[in-house]
């Protein structure tokens, strides 16, 4: 398959790469060293070279960040500001993201191996759209007037929940930062953000832009560091009111334990997935192949909703296999700054080795390797797009979340069969259906146990559409007005009424 120039950055693009200015913790409006003075390296996964040394936050740093957030919530202007004023500042934040789009995109490409052209065309523009969506929601947070059964008057208030801990993953660093910060800001909360240690640069840059936009000191704090130290301190902190986490199911369990063992803070989890794509006999084969590849290979498969299980009805199976192999062989893997590249490197060596180990499992368990399956290039964490067929439901590559460019291809006969097999997983994050039959669409979309179902499209996220999991994929929603619920609490107020002509 075609490869880009691994590690050799296009000279014109190179001019757009920013100087790495923000490498310290962001607490109470200032960039500061960690209490310990320790740092860790953030690595370019395309070249395996150190980009910068980042301040390594720990429990003491989280304590300082929470103290700043608590002061900003209890005594600061942000929760007391009219929603329309919060919205204005959030829109200014979005303007600054748009103005610095290429710088943010370059940081994500350097730090997480994301394709630069996709970052500038899709990912970073979506970040500012998300902010604007919740900026518009900030003055539309309303309670209800209650109809009570006695001589009482009641109403509800929706109040910001307080200080929130936001623990974000490495696959969409800017997107996940804003996905959680935007509704929290709209609600009037203050926050401590713990970005993934694999890709911390964009979170620090966004904190800088937030300050320029006029978000008051202490409202957004960013503590870089490791999950078992800084992340654990956030999850267990007695003065954090709620924690929202996106990442693996295993870490989600630890966060729930930490929340329960500390102050019983509320928890929202968006966890792993093993999302099925169901392609029926009436589908256009060429379009279905494109959709399956995009669903599986976008962002090098490092997406929790990726279509790692592709079920194809037997009538078009053989034709679709030919198309998939043809298209996969033309998929361009290489330097993520190259405009021709479709797939960059896995985020780090650990993830690279994990994906390769699952490819080995697939071979050992008897799946047939149709294409790919090998490292790609001499330097960097690149892996060829990989497709297996003759995959059975009990194989590891059909059960475990791989989080890499690996597709498990399976044949089915009937609708009843594929519904049962699609649901035979501990996960329930997303699913896709490819068909032109409305009856199949209605039946299958109501039968699949997943938080979002995409029909004849995939990865079709939108600010207004809630996304969240069933089963071990977690609970709580991101995107949409439903996301605000995580950062609000309902208070009922009741007073007596006397001699009213009506109740």
Residues 6+ apart with CB under 8 A from 53: 23, 39, 40, 41, 42
Helices and strands: H and E segment counts in the chain: 16, 20
How far apart are the C-alpha atoms of 92 and 90, rounded to whole Å?
Answer: 5
> Taking CA 142 as the corner, what is the angle to CA 140 and CA 143, rounded to the nearest 5 degrees?
170
User: 247 in helix, strand or coil?
Assistant: coil
Helices 83-99 and 124-137: angle between axes, nearest 10 degrees: 170
197, 270, 302, 389: the catalytic one is 270
Contact 187, 141 (CB under 8 A): yes
Query: Catalytic annotation on 270?
Result: yes
How far apart are the C-alpha atoms of 266 and 11, rounded to whole Å?
Answer: 48
Outline where DSSP puts E strands in 10-144: 25-27, 30-32, 39-44, 49-55
Contact 298, 289 (CB under 8 A): no
> What is the sign of the dihedral through the CA atoms of 215, 484, 305 and 319?
negative
User: 253 in helix, strand or coil?
Assistant: helix
348 to each of 50, 105, 352, 389, 458, how far by Cα in Å? 12, 18, 6, 27, 26
Outline where DSSP puts E strands in 66-197: 145-146, 152-160, 163-167, 190-194
Name the residues annotated as catalytic. 270
């Amino acid at each position: 398959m075609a490869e880009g120039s691994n590690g050799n950055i296009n000279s014109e693009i190179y001019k757009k790469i920013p100087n790495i200015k923000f490498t310290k913790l962001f607490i109470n409006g200032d960039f500061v060293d960690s209490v310990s003075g320790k740092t860790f390296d953030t690595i370019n996964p395309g070249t395996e070279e150190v980009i910068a040394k980042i301040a390594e936050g720990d429990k003491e740093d989280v304590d300082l960040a929470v103290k700043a957030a608590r002061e900003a919530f209890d005594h600061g202007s942000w929760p007391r500001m009219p929603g329309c004023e919060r919205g204005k500042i959030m829109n200014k934040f979005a303007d600054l993201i748009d103005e610095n789009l290429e710088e943010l995109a370059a940081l994500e490409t350097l730090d997480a191996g994301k394709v630069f052209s996709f970052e500038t065309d899709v990912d970073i523009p979506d970040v500012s759209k998300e902010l604007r969506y919740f900026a518009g929601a900030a003055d539309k947070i309303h309670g209800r007037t209650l109809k009570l059964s006695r001589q009482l008057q009641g109403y509800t208030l929706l109040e910001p929940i307080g200080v929130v801990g936001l623990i974000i993953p490495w696959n969409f660093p800017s997107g996940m930062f804003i996905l959680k910060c935007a509704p929290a800001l709209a609600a009037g909360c203050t926050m401590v953000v713990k970005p993934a240690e694999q890709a911390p640069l964009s979170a620090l840059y966004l904190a800088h832009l937030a300050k320029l936009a006029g978000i008051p000191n202490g409202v957004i704090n960013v503590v870089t560091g490791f999950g078992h130290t800084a992340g654990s301190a956030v999850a267990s902190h007695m003065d954090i009111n709620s924690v929202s986490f996106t990442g693996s199911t295993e870490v989600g369990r630890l966060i729930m334990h930490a929340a329960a063992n500390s102050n019983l803070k509320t928890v929202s989890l968006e966890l792993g997935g093993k999302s099925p794509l169901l392609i029926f006999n009436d589908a256009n084969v060429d379009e279905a192949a494109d959709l399956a590849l995009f669903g599986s290979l976008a962002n090098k498969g490092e997406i929790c909703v990726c279509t790692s299980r592709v079920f194809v009805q037997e009538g078009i199976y053989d034709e679709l296999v030919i198309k998939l192999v043809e298209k996969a062989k033309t998929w361009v893997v290489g330097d993520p700054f190259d405009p021709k590249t479709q797939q960059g490197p896995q985020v780090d060596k650990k993830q690279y080795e994990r994906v390769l180990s699952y490819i080995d499992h697939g071979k050992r368990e008897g799946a047939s390797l149709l294409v790919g399956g090998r490292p790609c290039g001499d330097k960097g964490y690149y892996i060829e797009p990989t497709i297996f067929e003759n995959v059975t439901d009990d194989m590891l590559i059909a059960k475990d979340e791989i989080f890499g460019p690996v597709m498990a291809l399976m044949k089915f006969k009937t609708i009843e069969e594929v519904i049962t097999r699609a649901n035979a997983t501990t996960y329930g994050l997303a699913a896709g259906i490819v068909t032109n039959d409305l009856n199949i669409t209605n039946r299958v979309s109501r039968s699949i146990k997943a938080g979002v179902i995409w029909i004849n499209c995939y990865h079709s996220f939108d600010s207004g559409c809630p996304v969240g999991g069933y089963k071990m994929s977690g609970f709580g929603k991101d995107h949409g007005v439903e996301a605000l619920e995580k950062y609000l609490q309902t208070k009922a107020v009741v007073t007596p009424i006397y001699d009213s002509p009506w109740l």
